[in-house]
Amino acid sequence: MAVMWAYPWSFLGDRSTASFDRLASRGVEAANVASHYHSIRTLDPRRDERLFESHPGGCYFEPSPEQFADTPIAPPVNDVAGSDDPLGDVMALAADAGVAVNAWLVCNHNSRLGAENPEYRFESAFGSPHDHALCPSHPEVRAYFAGVAGSLAECGVEEIQLESVGFPNAFHGHGSEFGHDKNQSVTGTDQELLLSQCFCSGCRAAAADHPVDFDRAKAVVREECKAVLEGPNESADLAALREEHPVVDDLFDFRTEVIESFVSRLAEASDDVPLNYYVADGFGHDPGDGWPAGVELNRLEPHLDRVTALCYVGDPEVARRRVEDLDAAVDLPLDAGVCVDPEVVGSKTEWQAVVGAVRDRCSNVHVYNQSLLTDEQVGWLGETFG
């Protein structure tokens, strides 16, 4: 089955550039609609004017107040021109065309939530807070996202799709609406993730019930960070650091327990609505990449209903391997996500080769992103899935 990622404003009001009838005619049977999302500034090439759309992080639906009784974090709600209830209106339009709607839920990565709730931000080993994300060690943060998931389940979506469930990356900021990062001393993924380890008050409180020596772990990470920042050629190896220092191994085990608790809470809140996790935390998109962010698939698997391998690549063999590796790692239904970014796939032929490499190895192929496609790329959909 073909599925499209999309933003709700693409279907609503006089600035809409998409219709579910058109998608259905091209073989698309479901849409992943951004429902709780980070800040964004996006270009829609199919608009005749006012090409850009900007929104702060927040909800594109009306959350149920009773779902947030266990948290002081209030869900921010974004307006979309032409709609008082974007997700509800999109679902009605989709139903008329026979297209299912999944809720796309971005979790801890949200600048607006971090700025408005500073006591729950994640914090480095140097005490630097980061506005662009919340730390899942805080029970209030886990309760907040459980409230979002519960509210989305009440909306009647087919599935809730999870992004950014792990501990955040310090180098993925957006600013209050959209941002512009500056950094030239930290370049490797290991270095970034080392400087992204959180030592906030929520982590300290949660670690009290875990064998990790939190203060010692913080001191080790801090010293390793200092070494990285001393010169441009200094490197970091998180796996080696974990092996060298048992306290760091304990720290990552603690992180894993936090994220397992977080996803378990989301599963409970979503009730009978399936959860689909986009495998994209930590080092990247492979099954074993998530551990620096607390994501270990074998621990999350009992709480999930599906997983999606993100295959934003131009090499069909890489896409095929990514799907096959994920299929071998979990005993869950498997989807694949592909993109039409011309910097990744330069032509329809290249894109169709990537789709062909994964479509027989998974249940659904998700395409990124309806709201960003050119007219020519929209035509590829019908030729591929129609």
Reduced to 3 states (helix: H, G, I; strand: E, B; else coil), residue 268 is helix
Give CA separation, 268 vs 148, 264, 332, in Å. 12, 6, 18
Residue 370 lies in a domain: yes
Residues 6+ apart with CB under 8 A from 52: 41, 42, 43, 44
The pLDDT score that the predictor gives to residue 379 is 93
Dig out the tokens for 109 from the structure.
């990565």
| Residue 205: both structure tokens together | 């409180």
DSSP strand pairing (334-339 vs 121-123): unpaired
Residue 139, domain CATH:
3.20.20.80
- The answer as to whether 244 is a domain residue is no
Give the closest residue to 335 by CA, choosing from 303, 288, 313, 367.
367
Beta strand 121-123 with 129-134 is antiparallel
Contact 322, 309 (CB under 8 A): yes
CB 357 within 8 A of CB 316: yes
Nearest CA to 106 among 18, 204, 11, 38?
Answer: 38
* Amino acid, single-letter form, for residue 232: P
Cβ atoms < 10 Å from Cβ of 79: 11
Q: Please indicate, yes or no, if residue 252 is contained in any of the structural domains.
A: no
**Number of C-beta neighbours around residue 127 at 10 A:** 10
Q: Which regions in the chain score pLDDT beneath 50?
A: none
Q: Look up residue 363 and give its amino acid.
A: S
Other C-beta atoms closer than 10 Å to the C-beta of 49 total 5
Domains in the chain: how many in total? Answer: 1
In this structure, are residues 167 and 259 in contact, taking their beta carbons and an 8 Å threshold? yes
Residue 143: CB atoms within 10 Å: 18
Query: SS3 for 73?
Result: coil
pLDDT at site 380? 94
Q: Do residues 101 and 94 touch, judged by C-beta distance below 8 A? A: yes
**In angstroms, rounded to a whole number, what is the distance separating the alpha carbons of residues 187 and 251?**
23
Amino acid code (one letter) for 320: R
On whether residue 250 sits in a domain, the answer given is no
Residue 317 domain boundaries:
2-119+130-180+259-385
pLDDT tens digits for range 169-218: 887 766 655 566 677 777 788 998 998 999 999 999 999 999 999 999 99
Does residue 53 form part of some domain?
Answer: yes
3-state helix, strand, coil in the chain (%, to 5): 45, 20, 40
Asked whether residue 103 is assigned to any structural domain, the reply reads yes
CB 44 within 8 A of CB 375: no
- CA torsion angle 81 82 87 91 (round to 10): -150
C-alpha 107/C-alpha 133 separation (Å) is: 9
pLDDT of 176 reads 57
Q: What is the pTM of this model?
A: 0.95
Integer angstrom CA distances of residue 324 from 286, 311, 362: 10, 11, 9
* Cβ neighbourhood burial of 336 (10 Å; 0-12, 13-18, 19+): buried
Q: What's at 61, amino acid-wise?
A: F
